[in-house]
Amino acid sequence: MSRFTDDFKLIPVDEYMPATARELLRHLGVLDGARVDQMAAVERFVVQRRADLRPSLVSSLRRSGFAEALGHVA
């Protein structure tokens, strides 16, 4: 293997799945935004990626006060 070869695989932005609520808010660009904006962004993300949500993300969102945005996710 060449020393100029990368060993890691890059993940496309649309396939990225954060592990925590803070990572998700950063990814969505609302980390420092108003709570209303954060909730709306999280709700949109959950609706679009419901089948792919990591258990760690679901748990972190609940602990961070975003349980309402999760709806009926297990």
More confident residue, 65 or 3: 65
List, for residues 1-50, the tens digit of each pLDDT value: 566 666 778 888 888 899 999 999 999 999 999 999 999 999 999 999 99
Average pLDDT, the chain: 89
Cα distances (angstroms) measured from residue 36 to each of 11, 30, 70: 29, 10, 15
Amino acid at 27: H
Identify the helix (H) or strand (E) that includes residue 27.
helix 21-28
